[in-house]
């Protein structure tokens, strides 16, 4: 699919940071319905993405965040990513086992 713009990713993260969405995502593996909601909310921002694109982007961001986070935890500062602080605000509070459980 086409690349996500910074604006689109910010909007996705803003929706993702909604406590309601987070709780739904943490509590489920079959999350198509949640990402359909996310896609619908993106549409209100004028962003046209389907639920699959949203889920893929979410997974990629989460994966990238985790690899940067663990690099930092092991003392490396070479790894960084664009939306680290925004994601840290969402993901930084949950334990790693929670994070890996809701991964697939």
User: What does pLDDT average to in each consecutive run of 10 residues of the chain (104 residues)?
Assistant: 90 94 86 96 96 96 94 86 93 57 44
Please state, in angstroms and rounded to a whole number, the distance separating the CA atoms of residues 56 and 52: 6
pTM of the model: 0.81
Q: Count how many Cα atoms sit within 13 Å of the Cα of residue 46 in the half-sphere of its side chain.
A: 2
The pLDDT, as a whole number, for residue 80 is: 85
pLDDT given for residue 94 in this prediction: 57
Per-residue model confidence (pLDDT) at position 102: 47
Distances, alpha carbon 39 to alpha carbons 31, 51, 89, 94, in Å: 12, 5, 22, 24
The pLDDT of residue 77 is: 78
Classify the C-alpha dihedral 49-35-31-73 as positive or negative.
positive
CB 35 within 8 A of CB 51: yes
């Amino acid at each position: 699919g086409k690349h996500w713009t910074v604006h689109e990713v910010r909007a996705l993260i803003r929706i993702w940071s909604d406590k309601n969405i987070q709780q739904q995502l943490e509590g489920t593996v079959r999350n198509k319905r949640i990402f359909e909601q996310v896609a619908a909310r993106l549409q209100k921002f004028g962003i046209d993405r389907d639920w699959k694109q949203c889920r893929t982007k979410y997974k990629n961001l989460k994966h990238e965040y985790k690899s940067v986070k663990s690099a930092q935890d092991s003392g490396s500062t070479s790894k960084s990513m664009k939306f680290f602080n925004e994601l840290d605000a969402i993901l930084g509070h949950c334990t790693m086992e929670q994070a890996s459980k809701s991964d697939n």
